[in-house]
Structure 1
Amino acid sequence: MIAGRRTHWISMAALGVALCGAAGTTAQVRAGQAAGARVSDARSRADALVARMTLDEKIALLHGLFPPMAAGKTANELIPSAGHVDGIPRLGIPLVRESDASLGVANQVEQRKGDVATALPSSLATAASFDPAIARAGGAMIGAEARDKRFNVLLAGGVNLTRDPWNGRNFEYLGEDPLLAGLLGGAHIAGVQSNRIVSTIKHYALNAQETGRTVVDARIGEAALRMSDLLAFQIAIERGRPGSVMCAYNKVNGDWACENKHLLTDVLKRDWGYQGWVMSDWGAVHSTVKAANAGLDQQSGQELDKAIYFGAPLRQAVEKGQVPVARIDDMAARYLTGLIETGAFAAAMPAKAITPDYAAHAEVAQRTAEAGIVLLKNDGDLLPIARTAKRIVVIGGNADVGVLSGGGSSQVRSVGGAPVEIPLSTGGSASFARITYHASSPLQALRKALPGVRVDWIDGRSLNATVEAAKAADLAIVFATQWTTEADDVPDLRLPNHQDALIEAIAAAQPRTVAVMETGGPVLMPWIAKVPAVVQAWYPGQRGGEAIAAILTGRVSPSGRLPITFPADASQPPRPRPIGLDRMTGLQAAAAANPAAAAGYTLESFPVDYVEGADVGYRWYEKKGLMPLFPFGHGLTYTHFAYRNPVVRGGRTLSVTFEVVNTGARAGVDVPQIYVGREGGTAPMRLGAFTRVALAPGETRRITLTAEPRIVADYDTGLPGWRIAAGRYRVALAHDAADRTMVSTATLEAQTMKP
């Protein structure tokens, strides 16, 4: 109780966070209670095991090997992968093998010769589905393959919000909105863990750029952080219950994320009640005493740090009384709790690797790509490809052999091989990334889907030949590519290698031009007015060619919606280019010129002030009155949908009941969205709820969307906690974040919620 003010605390479990009405509230409360009981039982079992351990056995669990650099450090088999932690056989504690990442079981530069895996589309494609079921199916698939390959921890679950469109790792994450990222991230994690293996959630927190990622100091206010990046993590943890949280490389408000007591202990473990373990990112540990006491539970990939901080130095710190024995017990117990609760502790691993059901898993990858491809523009209904088109030319992007994938730790060596693979000689990712294509040819898929149609191919390298081929065809389909990767940001948002000029020339020669974009995120489109149809395919995974052909030909109606705003020009985002890029470029140049001198150079930390605060992405655009090229939530279909008879209700929760009508002549999928904000307030509206609904032509369905309470609320550092102020609130029933054609109001009661 706060003096002079009535304060009513409610828990999120009691309130329920159903997106579609209150029907699921009772079931959710029961599920939450059951999950809490499971965690309590897991912790009790973990504590009993820890009580039987020696100090050396406990500490042995708190630091893990990096197998490529750990030869001779264990008597157990070291599978070339991300990480390895020996078990304790006398207590039945299993050996742990860890693999990257969110898009499939990674094998970036073929550490395991000949080992392939199913490659999902980029996480932005999954996010574009706006469908937790799609996210869960993808997680379940890669989790099954991880188990078949004898891994029991998957370093998946990336939910870092997109604050800058040029971030090289955007493709691994789930967009710019905390509700969307949290719900889909939680579903993906739950899918992975349905195989009785652990999924992490990462990178906690504010790992928002790759330039200087190991030294950058991300600066933001407490309330803004709670309402944006941390809310995405909080929702995903509630929904997915990950066994482990991976802390990030960067600093947050002056402290390294992996020794940041406020993030690790105050927020994660105290406020959110998280019971699993915090592992470091690989090479992200900087101390022993401070890190352990701040809440880091395990040092990962110890060979990549300057020292094995959680080995002998941790034992010495305990002996000196610098780290309490109780803290060591808690670190070990959290590790075991994560393994026990997820089922990884008791689930025996195969003695030998098992060949997964790759055919069935490829279908999962294709469904994900089809659900996530976004039709950005379709003037004159140029798409789907008309039956009258008898001669089509496909141009560029290596579309004759495959589709592009992103680089870094998430890189999957997919089933079918890599028809294009280009090693790197420079850049932060050169040691562990290659420009790689999956063997899924859009050209071949189109030829198969369009029997009787002549589908020609030209690589686009000769401008004159390309223009002539475009003129001679009934339809030109040009594939544009932008490769992005972990450890490097893109210097600007233009398509590389003069592709903009190529697209413009093709469109000038052929008015019936379709641009298919295989990019890591938003790019500028200076030619947009001259190209009637644009399809955003992201990195579409190992069945990307088939998925693209299905969308272009109309076998599948496009249903993806943008999880990220596309700026009209580079001046619109909060930062037009990567902060610190010049100093990083200078360091790379110095290293190339004088490797011996550069070896002793230490890159100094530098700040990035997140001036947008909680107003990330589309909220920044609304706050500044900017018109993007394409707004968050945007996506066209081959039919049309209308919303009718909305009824808005207030009181304890904010909901909208309405009819969705397919007014077109084709079946399709719509993604209704509601955006909420306090009437008369200055804060931009926020995505409060969404759903996917498939409708036949003429079909009507009545839908209820209930806003997530923490989206309606503001974070109050004075409580501390979430506060919904009494009063009237605006609700926009919308097709995207810029749609304000149907706005209603409702009155809410005052409420507060715990952090």
Structure 2
Amino acid sequence: MSKGFQLALLSASLLAGMGTTGGVFARETPLSTARPDARTRAEALVARMTLDEKIALVHGLFPPRAKGKTVNELIPSAGHIDGIPRLGVPLVRESDASLGVANQVEQRKGDVATALPSSLATAATFDPEIAHAGGVMIGAEARAKRFNVLLAGGVNLTRDPWNGRNFEYLGEDPLLAGEMAGAHIAGVQSNRITSTIKHFALNAQETGRMVLDARIDEASLRESDLLAFQIAIEKGQPGSVMCAYNKINGEWACENAHLMNDVLKRDWGYRGWVMSDWGAIHSTAKAANAGLDQQSGQELDTAIYFGDPLKADVEAGKVSMARLDDMVVRYLTGLIETGAFDTAMPARAQPIPYARHADVAQRAAESGIVLLKNEGKMLPLTRTAKRIAVIGWGADVGVLSGGGSSQVRSVGGAPIEIPLSSGAASSFARITYHASSPLKAIRAAMPQAKVTFIDGRDVAAAVEVARSADVAIVFATQWTTEAQDVPDLSLPYGQDALIAAIAAAQPRTVAVLETGGPVLMPWLDQVPAVVQAWYPGQRGGPAIANILTGRVNPSGRLPITFPAAASQAPRAVPVGLDTLTSLEAQAAANPANAAQYQLKSYPVDYVEGADVGYRWYERKNQRPMFAFGHGLSYTSFAYRNPVVHGGKALSISFEVVNTGRKAGVDVPQIYVARDGSAAPMRLAAFTRISLKPGEARRVTLTAEPRIVADYDTKLPGWRIVGGRYRIALARDATDRTLVSTTTLDPATMRP
């Protein structure tokens, strides 16, 4: 085992045991100032390369379709770029890695990895330390498996509750998403592995993701999705940025000079490289000149654009030699800055302490599970409950995971795995469960009780089991996946009717939701307790049981708004889904001419602009079912003696007191808006603090200045208008119990 690997594992172990007090993750040195010799070193290497060597580094193989194209071993995974041994340029192997080292449809037979809970669950912790620990763990396993570039760092904001990929991302708020993504990326790269940040930008839905044109004005884009990317890049310093499939304001993301050259490389001073998403390139010279540095997974594109065509364009002067040199320099700079360049890949797979890493996953799950409702203090389950009915298909063997490129083959195997017979995700996704049984975990946590299981497919039989018990726990699931959006926000397979029937027969009913995002709950008034478990990862069973029984006090907070009705969201259904469904039906009816029934580019207008998620609800004066930031505890907290400061920076100091009888974790949040403005309030700072019963602690939160500011396209840059500002010390985005005002000085900041 290498020293670097040992240090990475030690770091994961230490982080797993760290406390969770304090504020957002500490700011690290910006990429633009870290290791100032990295680009100079990269330039010296490129000066010694031939044209063919340069070209070879700016396009990569897709191993499942590229056998025999390299003298090096091709590990089935996402990508492979040969090195240049004579110059010491390393071989690069890339793996998907949002939730663990991915192995989607078991390309690598028998290869397992630790599966974190969904990114939404991690975001629900409001704890960058937990995100960092997860990144450290994934990076350590990746290095042990001989990968040195991870396609992690998903930070696309949730604009629509039905997006099939919401579970991979970090919610709807740019500050929360940026802080959490930055911490995760920094954790990955602590193993001297390069992480990406993705998908740049506005990859906000899966329906039509390869062709849609995302439309939004510049100021709104800067204040929302781009701000999330900007914060995450500052915090995490990723070696690479991955551009998206879709268009933005008429230009393909991987051909968008404004995004890549103007915003990323000029305004933000980004020094690493921009890689394409797999199958996202449409041109050679245009893409290269617009700022794309590398073609990824070339076999998934219609041509190897950055191979011989790029060489020909360089020789013809359509792409300058200086631009090609910059492409290669950026690639090498990203590898050097993150340590991947100088850290040898092990010759063979290394041992991994999976049990220790599973603790990291369980801690994330327990900290991210959200107690949505607890009427009459139904939870935690008391030791007086002698008969417990556990109801729900799959709850006896495991917990659900999301589908697509992030799919982890977790330790313990997949007790349920169902191939898809159709749909855009059918080639690389399966409905998969992790082998972590909630039923077994509940039985272990409550040995004094008789715990009966029924899968719920026979509703009448399930009702009888529930009626004869003291408590009924209903597990409900909603599978979501990359490449497909859910058609609506209802629980599938009649589960809403099942929950309603159980609740009608058993007044002490708990609903546990394993979903990829928000769902509607027509039965909510009938059910006294609701637990949002997300996709809880490979230790999901014990995590859920610990929350239900009170061994762990719930502390998760919603990183995404749960609407009371689909009509509350800016778009009630996936834009383009009707057209896509019609075309698929026509193609099925005419298989000989199926190619002509392809979805063409179409606009998606983001009418909410920068008012994503909870800001949209405030702007429209709509009350959601559960607000962003909402989450209950088995204890209670009070905020006392707030003192607000203004001037050059907005901050608030206050006392947090645990007024209950249990130790617990609170997540104070502050929201700000200019006094007299109609603009919705914005999350400007947050922290996570653990307190014993009766313990009090004084906390100071300072607002992120770009949240207080507006983006001014005429500067261009950020402008804080001088004057009075409102600041809400809150438990969620709708809480206005404690609102103060202060005066801020005018200020401007660079883009």
TM-score tier after normalising by the smaller chain length: over 0.9
Q: After TM superposition, list the pairs within 5 Å mapping 1:547-558 onto structure 2.
A: 547-558=543-554
Task: Give the secondary structure class of the aligned counterpart of 2:52.
Answer: helix
d(CA) in 2 for partners of 1:345, 1:731: 46
How has the CA–CA distance of structure 1 residues 333 and 584 changed in structure 2, closer, same or farther, with 3 Å as cutoff?
same
Deviation of 1:123 after TM superposition, in Å, equals 0.1
d(CA) in 2 for partners of 1:629, 1:602: 37
d(CA) in 2 for partners of 1:20, 1:451: 37
Tell me the alpha carbon deviations over residues 665-703 of structure 1, each in whole angstroms, 9 at most, x when there is no partner. Answer: 111000000000000001100000000000001110000
d(CA) in 2 for partners of 1:274, 1:435: 38
1:32 and 2:38 correspond: no
d(CA) in 1 for partners of 2:629, 2:62: 40
- Is the contact made by 1:215 and 1:605 (CA closer than 8 Å) also made in structure 2? yes
1:642 and 2:638 correspond: yes
d(CA) in 2 for partners of 1:211, 1:397: 28
1:184 and 2:180 correspond: yes
RMSD: 1.2
- Is the contact made by 1:121 and 1:541 (CA closer than 8 Å) also made in structure 2? yes
User: Which amino acid in structure 1 is aligned with residue 561 of structure 2?
Assistant: T
User: Which amino acid in structure 2 is aligned with residue 166 of structure 1?
Assistant: W
Q: 1:481 aligns with which of 472, 477, 497?
A: 477
Q: After TM superposition, list the pairs within 5 Å mapping 1:359-374 onto structure 2.
A: 359-374=355-370
Partner residue, 1:197: 193
Task: Give the secondary structure class of the aligned counterpart of 2:566.
Answer: coil
- Is the contact made by 2:717 and 2:750 (CA closer than 8 Å) also made in structure 1? yes
d(CA) in 2 for partners of 1:36, 1:203: 21
- Is the contact made by 1:21 and 1:655 (CA closer than 8 Å) also made in structure 2? no
User: Which amino acid in structure 2 is aligned with residue 399 of structure 1?
Assistant: A
d(CA) in 1 for partners of 2:81, 2:597: 32
Task: Give the secondary structure class of the aligned counterpart of 1:375.
Answer: strand
Task: Give the secondary structure class of the aligned counterpart of 1:733.
Answer: strand
Q: After TM superposition, list the pairs within 5 Å mapping 1:611-622 onto structure 2.
A: 611-622=607-618
Deviation of 1:78 after TM superposition, in Å, equals 0.4
1:247 and 2:243 correspond: yes
Tell me the alpha carbon deviations over residues 373-396 of structure 1, each in whole angstroms, 9 at most, x when there is no partner. Answer: 000000000100012100000000
Task: Give the secondary structure class of the aligned counterpart of 1:45.
Answer: helix
Deviation of 1:602 after TM superposition, in Å, equals 3.8
- Is the contact made by 1:97 and 1:151 (CA closer than 8 Å) also made in structure 2? yes
How has the CA–CA distance of structure 1 residues 653 and 20 changed in structure 2, closer, same or farther, with 3 Å as cutoff?
farther
Partner residue, 2:150: 154
- Is the contact made by 1:587 and 1:598 (CA closer than 8 Å) also made in structure 2? no
d(CA) in 1 for partners of 2:579, 2:433: 31
1:357 and 2:353 correspond: yes
Deviation of 1:220 after TM superposition, in Å, equals 0.1
Tell me the alpha carbon deviations over residues 432-485 of structure 1, each in whole angstroms, 9 at most, x when there is no partner. Answer: 000000000000000001111111100001111101000000000000000000
Partner residue, 1:508: 504
Tell me the alpha carbon deviations over residues 53-97 of structure 1, each in whole angstroms, 9 at most, x when there is no partner. Answer: 011101100000000110121111100000000000000000000
Q: 2:440 aligns with which of 438, 441, 444?
A: 444
Task: Give the secondary structure class of the aligned counterpart of 2:157.
Answer: coil
Q: After TM superposition, list the pairs within 5 Å mapping 1:725-744 onto structure 2.
A: 725-744=721-740
1:268 and 2:264 correspond: yes
- Is the contact made by 2:583 and 2:598 (CA closer than 8 Å) also made in structure 1? no
Structure 1, unaligned runs of 5 or more: 1-18
Partner residue, 1:107: 103
1:259 and 2:241 correspond: no
1:310 and 2:301 correspond: no
Task: Give the secondary structure class of the aligned counterpart of 1:534.
Answer: strand
1:214 and 2:210 correspond: yes
Q: How many residues align?
A: 731
Task: Give the secondary structure class of the aligned counterpart of 1:65.
Answer: coil
d(CA) in 2 for partners of 1:38, 1:381: 51
Q: 2:162 aligns with which of 146, 162, 166?
A: 166
Tell me the alpha carbon deviations over residues 716-740 of structure 1, each in whole angstroms, 9 at most, x when there is no partner. Answer: 0000000000000000000000000
Tell me the alpha carbon deviations over residues 96-150 of structure 1, each in whole angstroms, 9 at most, x when there is no partner. Answer: 0000021000000000001010000000000000000000000110110010000
User: Which amino acid in structure 2 is aligned with residue 526 of structure 1?
Assistant: P
1:336 and 2:332 correspond: yes
User: Which amino acid in structure 2 is aligned with residue 497 of structure 1?
Assistant: Y
d(CA) in 2 for partners of 1:21, 1:236: 16
Q: After TM superposition, list the pairs within 5 Å mapping 1:44-59 onto structure 2.
A: 44-59=40-55
Task: Give the secondary structure class of the aligned counterpart of 1:644.
Answer: strand
Q: After TM superposition, list the pairs within 5 Å mapping 1:284-295 onto structure 2.
A: 284-295=280-291
Aligned residues with identical type, % of pairs:
78
Deviation of 1:21 after TM superposition, in Å, equals 8.8
Q: After TM superposition, list the pairs within 5 Å mapping 1:128-143 onto structure 2.
A: 128-143=124-139
1:375 and 2:371 correspond: yes
Deviation of 1:617 after TM superposition, in Å, equals 0.1
d(CA) in 1 for partners of 2:417, 2:410: 12
1:673 and 2:669 correspond: yes
Deviation of 1:594 after TM superposition, in Å, equals 2.2
Partner residue, 2:15: none
Normalising by structure 1, what TM-score? 0.96
Q: After TM superposition, list the pairs within 5 Å mapping 1:528-607 onto structure 2.
A: 528-607=524-603
User: Which amino acid in structure 2 is aligned with residue 622 of structure 1?
Assistant: E
Tell me the alpha carbon deviations over residues 545-602 of structure 1, each in whole angstroms, 9 at most, x when there is no partner. Answer: 0000000000000000000000000110000000000111112212222222112444
1:231 and 2:198 correspond: no
- Is the contact made by 1:39 and 1:337 (CA closer than 8 Å) also made in structure 2? no
Deviation of 1:39 after TM superposition, in Å, equals 4.0
Partner residue, 2:10: none
- Is the contact made by 1:39 and 1:275 (CA closer than 8 Å) also made in structure 2? no
d(CA) in 1 for partners of 2:494, 2:517: 18
Tell me the alpha carbon deviations over residues 173-217 of structure 1, each in whole angstroms, 9 at most, x when there is no partner. Answer: 000000000000000000000000000000000000000000000
- Is the contact made by 1:20 and 1:705 (CA closer than 8 Å) also made in structure 2? no
User: Which amino acid in structure 2 is aligned with residue 221 of structure 1?
Assistant: D
Partner residue, 2:121: 125
Task: Give the secondary structure class of the aligned counterpart of 2:690.
Answer: strand
d(CA) in 2 for partners of 1:583, 1:43: 48
User: Which amino acid in structure 2 is aligned with residue 321 of structure 1?
Assistant: G
Task: Give the secondary structure class of the aligned counterpart of 2:736.
Answer: coil
Deviation of 1:37 after TM superposition, in Å, equals 4.0
Q: 2:72 aligns with which of 72, 76, 91?
A: 76
Tell me the alpha carbon deviations over residues 254-277 of structure 1, each in whole angstroms, 9 at most, x when there is no partner. Answer: 000000000000000000000000
Task: Give the secondary structure class of the aligned counterpart of 1:339.
Answer: helix
User: Which amino acid in structure 1 is aligned with residue 687 of structure 2?
Assistant: T
- Is the contact made by 1:670 and 1:693 (CA closer than 8 Å) also made in structure 2? yes
Tell me the alpha carbon deviations over residues 396-422 of structure 1, each in whole angstroms, 9 at most, x when there is no partner. Answer: 031100000000000001000000000
